[in-house]
Homo-oligomer: A and B are copies of this chain.
């Protein structure tokens, strides 16, 4: 019998260590040895379970993305008006940014890799599609029909709204001192 500290199986422990390390130091700054050591596993196991570094990161992203999307999909349907729902979404971004920025770090890291690698680009685009679709379906239909935004397609508006949250999130993550940023995030709610 083994030491048996591995109730979850090695592949899961590797995955969790990878999530933590990569979201904390960035994909480019983390070696497979770092992850193996943190997971209490031998290096070659990473290649056994995940073909290579890229494969591991793909799995990391998929894991985090799943949780992320489920949370947002639930949260975005709570409010009964468009404004309420947008504000719920904004609150979610703000509090996650404050209390648990790991997810965002990972997302931004992925955005960068997507810039130079096709498989990652596809991965990220599908995430953006999903998020835009969520806004498009659960928020925009509740909007006033006389909004000055009605000249634009729902998809464009959704992507603009998400873009605003994304852009402000980056600024927030990169600048802790600037205390106007939560306010900037809140101001997005006034767009609709």
Complex Cα distance, B144 from A148, in Å, reads 15
* Chain A 139-170 interface residues, beta-carbon cutoff 8 Å to B: 148-149, 151-153, 155-157, 159-160, 162-170
Q: Quick check: which of A35-43, A45-53, A109-117 contacts chain B, the rest being far away?
A: A109-117
Q: A100 an interface residue at 8 Å Cβ cutoff?
A: no
State how many residues of chain A have any CB contact under 8 Å with chain B: 50
Report the nearest B residue to A168, measured CB to CB: B163
- How many copies, total? 2
The A interface is mostly helix, strand or loop, or mixed, namely: helix
CB distance from A159 to the nearest CB of B (A): 4
Complex interface: chain B residues within 8 A of A153 (CB): 180, 183
Pick the contact of A109: B115, B157, B190 (CB < 8 A): B115
Contact assessment for A166 and B170 in the assembled complex, using a CB-CB cutoff below 8 Å? yes
A64 interface contact, C-beta 8 A: no
Other-chain contact of A121, B124, B160, B174, B191 (Cβ < 8 Å): B174
A152-B183, A156-B184 known; 18 new pairs, CB 8 Å cut-off, are: A105-B115, A115-B173, A128-B175, A149-B187, A152-B190, A153-B183, A159-B180, A159-B184, A160-B164, A160-B187, A162-B171, A163-B167, A163-B168, A164-B188, A166-B166, A166-B171, A167-B170, A191-B191
